[in-house]
Amino acid sequence: MSIEETLAALLEAKLAPLRDEVAALREQLTERPASTARGVELLDVDQVADLCHATAGTVRVWIRSGTLRARRTGRRYLVEMAEVKRFVSGSQTTKGPAAEDEAARILGLVRGGR
């Protein structure tokens, strides 16, 4: 066996456990159902979509319209589990204009009356 082959075998033996550990960590990150921040359970758009039996696009529409409150982290939206429960139960406790007021505001914008 040459020196190069011996070194390659030694490196492979040392790197194999590290590769396994990295693979296990990646698997944990992708399998984790929700992340927590300060004790608050957070869900990403795909997880909310699964819970609400909707598409991720629909969840983003709910978020952008203000129907579903979310945090923006980089390019991702994160929604608190409590907010998802509120949304699913139909109890609209969020502060904001009534549907008619919102419709009138949007109509005014469309007509150019900012």
pLDDT of residue 80: 93
Q: Is residue 6 part of a domain?
A: yes
pLDDT digits (tens, 9 = 90+) for 97-111: 566 677 777 777 777
Split into its structural domains, the chain has a count of: 1
Q: Is residue 110 part of a domain?
A: no
Q: Is residue 14 part of a domain?
A: yes
pTM of the model: 0.49
Q: Is residue 59 part of a domain?
A: no
Q: Is residue 18 part of a domain?
A: yes
pLDDT of residue 99: 66
Q: Which residues of the chain are under the pLDDT cut of 50?
A: 91-94
Q: Which residues pair with 11 in a beta bridge?
A: none
Domain residue limits at 6: 1-32
Q: Is residue 17 part of a domain?
A: yes
Q: Is residue 7 part of a domain?
A: yes
State the distance between the two ends of the chain, measured CA to CA, in whole angstroms: 79
pLDDT of residue 113: 61
Non-local CB neighbours of 56 within 8 Å, separated by 6+ positions:
45, 46, 49
Helix orientation angle between 45-52 and 56-65, rounded to the nearest 10 degrees:
100
Q: Is residue 75 part of a domain?
A: no
Residue 43, exposed/middle/buried by CB under 10 A (0-12, 13-18, 19+)? buried
